[in-house]
Structure 1
Amino acid sequence: MSQGAIARSAVEEIEADLLLEALHRRFDADLRALERAPLRERLLAFMRARDLPSLSVLQAQALHDEATGLALVRCLSVRPVALFDDPARIASLRQALGPWLRSCPMARVWVSECSGAEDVYTLAILLREEGFYDKTLLFATSSSEATLGAARRGRIPAAEFARYQQNYLRCGGRLSLSDYLEAEPDEDGNLAFLPELGRNIIWAQYNLATDASFNEFQLIVCRGALSDLRPALRQRALALFHESLAVFGYLSMHPGDAMVQLPNDVDFRAVHAESGLYRRVA
């Protein structure tokens, strides 16, 4: 690499750090722990879509135009999600959670770094159909208040209903997805989940990179967020999940978030590695 290219790369890294700091201070979205390679790809895609020449120009626009800033936060922090989008994961959860949650007087489930209502309400419906919802508290967290606020509204695009219904049936749904939704879409073309399905959900802003364990859980779900973190922070998150799980509690991850180089004193056993399901054993 030429000296000029090295200098440009160093400047871009500084610009990226300044941009993330700006988003943290302006929108209370702490994305500073993200791995830089995938972050750069998302930033470049965002800039190309808006014909912006540099990260400095993007930062100025994000700071002075709230709509651009919030769109950028969503682009960097939100992963694509859909209701019941992984039949293998749902099947492994159905099989594992029944005996485990039946033994718990009150169960706690943590959905870490949720990307949307779909992440949380998939679990709420699953727990309802397995008969555990009334004795379960779901904690849904994200480091981005904007992402959390959108998920908290509990809405899905009406245009996605047919696809989500097929996903639900493939995952062993016992009713119809419409039984969990308001009958008519709102003025924005979204369908709202029934209020009773959200009554046991607690929403809170939480940062995997800096915050401490806040409860003991029987199940933690974190899909895809770990691969976005830098290696040291990824290990911190795994240690945090281990600390936060009850002994024999379950951790459901994205299969791509490989369980390699675990921190000291962290011990997970694969229950169904193909779907990313592990169990704390010590």
Structure 2
Amino acid sequence: MEGGLATEELEIELLLEALFQRFGHDFRSYDRPTLRRKLHQVMQARALNTVSSLQDRVLHDPGAGAALLRALSVQPAALFDDPEQARQLRIVLAASLRASAVPKVWLAECAGPEQAWSLAILLAEEQLHLRTEIYATVANEEMLAAASLASFPAERMEQYQESYFRSGGTAQLADYFDVQDGRATLRASLRNRITWAQYNLVTDASFNEFQLIICQRALPDFGPMLRQRVMRLFHDSLSLFGVLGLDREIADGDELAASYQPVFPHQHWYKRIG
């Protein structure tokens, strides 16, 4: 490793240790190339030349620390921003939840309120919302606080309506929302089915049994050892014949591959069979 890269690698190690010690967020096992790219983007936006200067800013400026945690965390999703995934999810909900008296769904490393709201709307359209509990977990307090106050500009509704139609929706999306002062918020009857909590996939243990676990935006950021740790956590948290929705394939050589079978060909939805 060349001198400059070796120095930067040491700086990154020190920054990640500082984030863990100062804020309690452990990015030390994240995929290093992905992490480096995100750090460089933050440095460029703040006109900083070294990772050490970023560390100094983060440790002494609370706003800079919060901004870096946001940049390293899962980026927010828009309502129905992946119509094909939503189409598949409609099928998965019916197959995985109908047999349970009180089914539970875990949105692990949830990509913001609009991802959770999309799920709540799909549950309503499958007539499952009244008995299904959604647990949406995020890694830091700031994201948790933002979720409880979330809304979006009402003028986005037309754009979201088109994505909703492409996901298989047939209703008027606006019927699921209350609009006040130009801002739209999911109706309380659906919003109340979502429990938000701070949870760290890197360090925390299994906290419930779920019939469906969805983690479709975080895994690419994880290094190999952390991915295996998280996959074991999901296995311990998923009921037999429950469904796991990922953003990567479970490879044949993965430790738990034999415990799952694909729900769809060439897609990343898996039923636990062992």
**Same fold, judged at TM 0.5 (above):** yes
Retained in 2: the 8 A contact 1:78–1:147? no
> What CA distance in whole angstroms lies between the structure 2 residues aligned with 1:134 and 1:175?
19
Runs (4+) of structure 1 exceeding 4 A deviation are none
- The residue aligned with 1:123 is 119
2:259 to 264, 267, 275: 267
1:145 to 137, 141, 144: 141
Pair 1:168 & 2:160 matched = no
> What CA distance in whole angstroms lies between the structure 2 residues aligned with 1:229 and 1:115?
16
* Cα separation, partners in 2 of 1:47 and 1:247, compared to 1, 3 Å: same
> What CA distance in whole angstroms lies between the structure 1 residues aligned with 2:195 and 2:96?
22
Pair 1:20 & 2:16 matched = yes
Instruction: State the shift of 1:40 in Å.
Output: 0.3
1:251-262 matches, within 5 Å, as 251-254=244-247, 257-260=248-251, 261-262=253-254
State the secondary structure of the residue aligned to 1:134: coil
* Cα separation, partners in 2 of 1:171 and 1:236, compared to 1, 3 Å: same
Instruction: State the shift of 1:72 in Å.
Output: 1.4
Instruction: State the shift of 1:155 in Å.
Output: 2.2
1:69 to 51, 54, 65: 65
Structure 2 gap ranges (5+): none
Instruction: State the shift of 1:116 in Å.
Output: 0.8
* Cα separation, partners in 2 of 1:99 and 1:38, compared to 1, 3 Å: closer
Structure 1 gap ranges (5+): none
Which of 156-165 and 231-240 deviates more? 156-165
State the secondary structure of the residue aligned to 1:207: coil
1:192 to 182, 185, 192: 185
Instruction: State the shift of 1:43 in Å.
Output: 0.7
State the secondary structure of the residue aligned to 1:115: coil
Give the percent of matched residue pairs that are identical in Structure 1 and Structure 2.
Answer: 43
Retained in 1: the 8 A contact 2:212–2:244? yes
State the secondary structure of the residue aligned to 2:242: strand
| Number of corresponding residues | 273
> What CA distance in whole angstroms lies between the structure 2 residues aligned with 1:159 and 1:11?
48
Instruction: State the shift of 1:167 in Å.
Output: 0.8
1:51 to 25, 38, 47: 47
Question: TM-score normalised to the size of structure 2?
Answer: 0.91
> What's the Cα RMSD here?
2.0
One-letter amino acid matched to 1:44: H
Instruction: State the shift of 1:46 in Å.
Output: 1.2
- The residue aligned with 1:38 is 34
